[in-house]
Every structure is written in C-alpha cells, then in structure tokens.
A = this chain, B = another copy of it.
Amino acid sequence: MNYTVEEKEFFMREALKEAEIALANDEIPIGCVIVKDGKIIGRGHNAREELQRAVMHAEVMAIEEANAHEKSWRLLDTTLFVTIEPCVMCSGAIGLARIPWVIYGAKNQKFGAAGSLYDILTDERLNHRVELESGILEAECAQMMQDFFRKRRQK
C-alpha cells in the first residue's frame, strides 16, 4: 500500500460519508471503504438497527461487498479504511479476508481490538498479520462518535 497522505485522507473521507449514512439512520456512526488499485471495491456502514443483523458492522458490510466484487473470499492487495478502530469481530473478519493493510481514524478505548483491548491484527500466533496505521482524519472520525453519544444521552 503506497498511498500518499492526500490519497489516504480522500479514502477516509469516503469512509466518513458512509458513517454519515449510519448517523442519518440513528446508528452508531462508523463507516468503511475497501480500496484496491486506487478504486473502492466495497463500502459499508453500521446497519445493525436498520437491518436487525448483529454482524452488520461497517467493516463486515464492506468485506461482503468486496468479496462479491472480487468473486473471492480473499481480498489480496486491498486496503481497508475505517473511521473507528475495529472491534473483535471485525478484526477477526479482516484477518479471515486476508486484507493486508488497515487504516483507521480514531481509537475505540472500550471495544477496539486493533491496539486498545486486543492486538488481533498483529498477533503473531494467527496466520494472517496486517500492516496497521491510525490517526488519519482522527479528529473528524472521533467527533462524529462524540456528537452521536452526546445527543443520545440528552434524549
């Protein structure tokens, strides 16, 4: 993955657009895109409430779309951009899909499994390891979550 900072910010803004779809549906605002050769091959947003499906996190939705696009469960040579650090399930799914590069915006201290609670993506005991970067558009990614939870507490 040899994207410039500008390219990384471009794709993270696309992930933020997905997070805005979740926000408009009153879902926890997390968005994701999967990129191959500079093109988006999968998009996803948290849709647990909308679809009443427990596994429909942004990353899983994007992986499902990318698997269909590639006609393969293996997402070789792809980069996954997600606004918030992946949870345990999504970190596991990223490894199972063999995604080699992951970039996330802001940490999730409560549920993150890519540095916060666990280091699933870089665990040497597992058969797939990811090159991980964080902090791209961190403030915007974190702000969207903070606004959502502030509003929810006010209700």
- For chain A, residues 81 to 138, give those with C-beta under 8 angstroms from any C-beta of chain B: 87-93, 95-98, 110-111, 113, 117-118, 120, 123, 125-127
A53 CB, min distance to chain B CBs, angstroms: 5
CB distance from A136 to the nearest CB of B (A): 24
In the assembled complex, the Cα of A60 lies from the Cα of B97 at a distance in Å of 14
| Complex Cα–Cα for A93 and B93 (A) | 10
Identify the stretch in A4-12, A17-25, A65-73, A144-152 within 8 Å (CB) of chain B at 4 or more residues: A65-73
Instruction: Assess whether B54 is in contact with A93, with CB atoms less than 8 Å apart.
Output: yes
Copy tally for this chain in the complex stands at 2
Q: Which secondary structure dominates where chain A touches chain B?
A: loop
Number of residues from A at the complex interface, CB < 8 A: 40
- The reply to whether A64 and B55 form a contact with Cβ atoms under 8 Å apart is yes
Contact B54 A63 (CB under 8 A): yes
Q: What is the CA–CA distance of A100 and B88 in the complex, to the nearest angstrom?
A: 17
Query: A43 to chain B: closest CB distance in Å?
Result: 16
